[in-house]
Structure 1
Amino acid sequence: MDLIRTFLEWVEALDQVIVSLVDGPWILPVLILLATIDGFFPPVPSESVVIAIAALSVAGTGPPLWLLVPAAALGAFIGDQIAFTIGRRIPIARIPFLNSGKGAELVARANRVIFRRPAPLLIAGRFVPGGRIAVNISAGAMGFPRRRFMEIDAVAVVLWALYSTLLGIAAGAYLKDHPVLSVVVGVALGVLMGVVIDRVAAWRHQRKERRASAEAEADGTPAA
């Protein structure tokens, strides 16, 4: 119950901030800034902001939806490039949240597959708050080619921006007479889908590892 209460309080605070800005000229610059910070700073889940703005735009306030997607994608792309550069410049051992718990698990997963299946890893990682930071920093630290990273990331951020905007549109259209509730529902769906994507990606990765291990044992060679 405490977790739910905290979540609702956070959404209410987010809603108040966005409502105060949504009709002004600063909402898109603020979105770009938050999406950029989200690329390398875990506590700023920018998809929640995208969803909230989209839901309010459907209700008749806020920027045109056709501007929301490129603004969100631009900020996300810049943030991901910063994370990649951090991985190039700073040893992962010096980044605390990547050396324990979920962060360490994501780094280990990224290190194993970044050169074998980079596109699925980087695209799926973009949809997991916090997970994208671990994956992108790992890509930089492992020496993954910058140009290839930028190409894949460009696709990832556009898909992410479209997905977040569509969630907000759906919530806003379904609850068009209750704009605040549409924000709460949209953000909750965004958080839930992030968790689901993370779990599915982890399950698929574990399944592939078990299959590779079984094949290696059958061949009489150790698994990679």
Structure 2
Amino acid sequence: MRLALLAFLLVCLPLVGALSEEPRFLSQPYVAVRGGWSNLRDMPVDYHHDAKPDRDIGFDNGWLAGLAVGTQPRDWLRVELELSHRQHEVALVMPGSGAGGSAGATAGMVNAYLDIPTGGRFTPYFGIGIGAASLAQQDVRADGTVFTDDRSWAFAYQAMAGVSARLAPLWSSSLEYRWFGTSSPVFSDREGYFYDSETRAHALVVGVTRSLW
């Protein structure tokens, strides 16, 4: 417990010091390009009123790509708008055999990041985001037939933790872990039965950021 408390204090003290200083308004706009590996958790297919047996859809690892524009109003705060897309191929449908199809999520997010000042080249950071996502279950099939091909909108949220590295006066790179989730929107299968299905995903994301001035 003492070691954990000491580690927590060592991480937080630089941030506390920065917050206690006179705020510096930087107004530094930037653009960022991001991409990486995504792991989509099994997606439930929960039918309304037990109209049909519930299922779970499993996925292969997929990819994520995104573009963001933002600004850094203070040296410890960043705010941005982000558009991202992730895509995964279906690996299995339980119960069922002969699985196929894919699932995608296109999300528009408002993100806020808290940078931990270190005075050096590397800057650890944490972030959260909220927004909306268009979720697509594309030609998902099992037992020799496509049972769903639908799209729905959902509330989306995410949490990020990573570290950025300054490469040049206007350029930096980043490596982060990201957790992405949505509410449970309603889909319709090929027979017209309604079901709920949510998205949960892990990702490792590499980014390149350029300040506009």
| TM-score normalised per structure 2 | 0.24
Q: 1 or 2, which has the higher helix percentage?
A: 1
TM-score normalised by L of structure 1:
0.23
More strand by percentage: 2
Larger-gyration structure (1/2): 2
